[in-house]
Chain A
Amino acid sequence: MNTFLSRLNSLFAMTMTVLAGLTFCCFLSTVHHTHHSIAKLDTPSVLVRQAPDYMIGHEINDLGHMTLNIDADLNHLFNWNVKQLFVYITAHYKTEKNAFNQVVLWDKIIRRGESARLQYSRVNPKYYFWDDGFGLRGNPNVTLALQYNVIPNSGRLLNIYAEGRHVVSMPENYIKGRA
């Protein structure tokens, strides 16, 4: 244990072991957290039309459009082992063609330190709400849910649903033209 190289080797091994141990403790310290929160979602306006989906070869599909009201406080979810919350709103529904469909309508990245108080009124969705087919018109049960992916400094990646779903009944008629 008296050569420069063997000292360097021990120092390096010690550093790696301590870092690994600390990382593991960081993971263990928050493994029991439930990440529970409540969200209020609403859809002030809901429309559905048929349109050619230019992203998939101009096949005609149902296109939904709903503006969103979002009210949720996620500040309590942050701790020393949460570096980011990826918050997203999904709509899931059943159609004749597909037993289960789920589409992300809106998402937001909240890093630790930023405000996680979500208060949005009449906000437009970020992504197009294309169906695979014609299952949106008159669909009585399209459920909106707020979910978040907790990204830790080290540890498990979890996708949690906030409590509070909002069920939308899609209109029976298509709107025509460019409304």
Chain B
Amino acid sequence: LLDISFLSDLKRMNKRQVFYQFLSFGMIVSSALMIWKGLIVATGSESPVVVVLSGSMEPGFYRGDLLFLTNDLEDPIRAGDIAVFRIKGRDIPIVHRVLQVHERDDGYVKFLTKGDNNAIDDRGLYAPGQLWLEKGDVIGRAKGFVPYIGMVTIVMNDYPKFKYAVLGLLGIFVLLNREA
């Protein structure tokens, strides 16, 4: 299936063109990185886009849906907000809804969460001895939603060989594709 003309193109490239190819590749990578970092600053969240990993919020959010988060610390946490948080000591972000909020005069907030599709609240999920979540546990609150797109990330995580294959092919394609 690989066309031979594609390889002969490669032979005809001189040093300058090879450098140019690498430079274009570098531009694409750094633009993507800057957009991502810019989003982090603009939203205040360390992870402005998350993929829903579990079915605990069905039928609203399914595994593979994408959520856009903001983490405005001035905006108070209220019941019904969809919070994405991490339990201390664990990596996986959890997307659940705030069930109860208690906020003190000095600004300290503690809250309880529950997944829509779960029968009970999340106390069983928190760290041993932890009864409430605090502002510091929250990565952000979901403000926007796009369905299905995140499935790519889930497939790439479940099948790392697929991820390397895709990245490898993309890299080769970008490096060897000559602007006509």
Contact = CB atoms under 8 A, between A and B. Distances in A.
Dominant secondary structure at the A interface: strand
A130 B102 CA distance: 11
Interface string B122-165: 01000000010000000000111111000000000000000000
Contacts of A92: 79
Given A4-B1, A154-B147, A109 B59 contact: yes
22 contacts: A3-B1, A3-B6, A23-B146, A55-B131, A83-B60, A88-B79, A90-B79, A97-B104, A99-B105, A102-B101, A104-B79, A104-B80, A111-B59, A132-B110, A147-B80, A149-B82, A153-B147, A154-B146, A155-B145, A156-B145, A157-B82, A157-B143
A156 B144 contact: yes
Contacts of A159: 78, 80-81
B145 A154 contact: yes
Given A103-B79, A156-B144, 19 more contacts: A5-B2, A5-B3, A56-B131, A83-B60, A86-B80, A98-B102, A100-B102, A100-B103, A102-B78, A102-B101, A103-B101, A109-B116, A127-B99, A149-B80, A152-B145, A154-B145, A157-B143, A159-B78, A159-B80
Contacts of B146: 23, 154
B102 A101 contact: yes
A11 to B, nearest CB: 15
B100 interface: yes
B145 to A, nearest CB: 5
B126 to A, nearest CB: 11
Closest 9 CB pairs of A and B: A100-B103, A132-B102, A102-B79, A151-B60, A3-B3, A102-B101, A99-B105, A98-B102, A90-B79
Interface in B53-76: 59-61, 67, 76
B118 to A, nearest CB: 12
A111 B116 CA distance: 13
A89 B67 CA distance: 24
A167 B40 CA distance: 41
B60 A109 contact: yes
